[in-house]
Structure 1
Amino acid sequence: MTLLPPRDAAGRNTGDFADAALTEDAFLGGRLRLRQPAAGYRAAIDPVLLAAAIPAAAGDSVADLGCGVATAGLCLLARVPGARVSGLELQAPLADLAIQNAILNGCSDRLAVVLGDVTAPPAALIPGGFDHVMLNPPYLESGAARVSAHEMRRIATVEGPANLAAWITCALGLLRPRGSLTVIHRADRLDRLLALLPPACGDLAVFPLWPRQGENAKRVLVQARKGSAGPLRFLAGLVLHDAGGGFTPAAEAVLRDARGLDL
C-alpha cells in the first residue's frame, strides 16, 4: 500500500526535492521531526489541531485525505500509538515526504500512503473500511481568491476539479457505520460544509478555533458520525493566543503536549 518513488543506492529520493529545498521541523514539542518543502505550502498548526480532534483508540483505522507530508497522521499516532493511518495524497513529492517522515519517526509500520485523488480513490482505500476519516481540504473556492504562483501551494489551498462536495463524498464512502468524519476548514465556509453533510450524519459538533479572546473564529473543526441521529452541538472551542501573542496554556497542551480535543 505504500508508495515508493525511485531512490538511489543510499535510499534517497532521486527526483523532486533537493535537500536544500527541504527543512526539518519539530512538532509536538519535539516529539516529531517532519521534513517538508522550504517553499510553497508548509504545515503549521491546522493539521496538528485536526489530529487532536480524532476520537481514535488503539486498533482503530484512520484515513487522512490530502495527507501532505503526513503531519496530521503522525501527530495522531504520537497520541494514539496503537492506531493505524492510511494517507491519500495527490502530489507525488509530498507523498514521498510523508513516507520519509513515517520512517524518520519510527511509524512506517503504522502509516501507509497511496497516491491518488478524492474523486476516484485508489482501491487500496477500502470503502467502508475506516473507523475515522480526517481531512484538511483546500479552503479556497476556485476563482474566489488570488491564486498562488507556487503550484504546490495552489493545489493545497485552492479547490481544483475536486471541490468540497467531492472531499466529503469520498470521506463518507470510506467510513464504517458510526465512524467519525472530522474536518478543519474556514469558519466563513461553515454553512457550505454543514449543507454538504447528509441527514444520515448526526452527532454534529462545531468547534471554533478563536485566534484570541473576543476575536472572530477563522477556522472551525466539524465532526459528525455516519448513521447517527444525534443533535448538532456548538461547542466552546479553543482560544489559540493570549493577549501577548503567545499560545494559551490550553493551546500549548494540544500543540506541544499532544493532548486531544474533546468534540
Structure 2
Amino acid sequence: MTEKPLSLLEQPQWRILDQSSLGPQFDARQSFAFDDTLCASAGSRTSPATARTWVHHDTVVLGIQDSRLPFIQEGIEYLASQGYRAVVRNSGGLAVVLDEGVLNISLIFQESDKGIDINRGYDAMWELVKVMLPEQAAKIEAREIEGSYCPGSYDLSIGGKKFAGISQRRLRNGVAVQIYLCVTGSGSDRAELIRNFYERSLKGSVTKFAYPVIVPEVMASISELTGKDVTIQDMMLKLLTALKNLSGRIFSSSLSMDEQLVFEKNLARMAERNKKIGID
C-alpha cells in the first residue's frame, strides 16, 4: 500500500514576507516580480518554503489574454475613470480586482526531483483556506464557477458563490501558488467592474479566445458569506497560526541582497511588458 504524500503545507519551516499593509503606493508589478524572485530562490535551495502576503489598492490585474482584447485601451481608460489602475501580470489567467478588501497569498515551494503535480499545488492552497476558515471548511468547494471573473477549476466557493481564485506560476525549479481572497466588501460590485471592462474592451467583437460572460451575483466576499465582519488582519492571524501549527516554525524575512538584485531585473521585465500595451 502506497503512503499518502505529506501535504505541501507541512514544511520544516515557513519564511514569511508580509506585504499586506504597504498601502496604496505598493504597485502590483512589484508583487509579480517578488514572486518570480522567490521562485528562483526556492528553486536554487537558497530559501525555504515561503508565504508572501500582499494587498494592492484599486488595481485590476489583467492576464496575457486580456492584453489582446480588440479595444483594450478603451477598457483601461474605463478602469481609470473608475479610479483603478491596470497592470498586466506575467502569467495566465484573466482579469481580477484587487483592493484593500482582498488579501493575496503566495506559497512558494521548491520543485522536488519528482516534481510537484499541478493539482497538488492547488490542493495545498485549498487545504490552507479550509484550515483558516474551520467553521466553513466543509462547505468550501473547489470547482469552476461559471459567470465569475477569471474562472478556473479551483475557484473556491460557498453555496455557489465564489470568494477566491487560485493560480500557479512555475519558474526556475520553483513553484508559486497564488490566491486572491475577497475578504471584505462586495463581490458582485467587483464583478460588475470587470463585466463593464470586458464590454468596453470587446464591443461585441467575435474573438478566437472566449472571454468570460460575467454574472456579478455569483461572486461574494468572505464577510458577505459568513455574515461576519472579517478583516484582512483577522485572515492574516489565521494564516500565520495555520502555518505555525503545520510546521512548528515561522520566521519573518525581507529579501536578501542577492534576491534584491534579481528582483530589480524582474521588475524591469514587468515594466517592459506593461509598456508594450501602453501602461506606464
TM-score, normalised to structure 1, is 0.30
Q: Which has the higher strand share?
A: 1
TM-score, normalised to structure 2, is 0.28
Report 1 or 2 for greater relative contact order, CA contacts < 8 Å, sequence distance ≥ 6.
Answer: 2
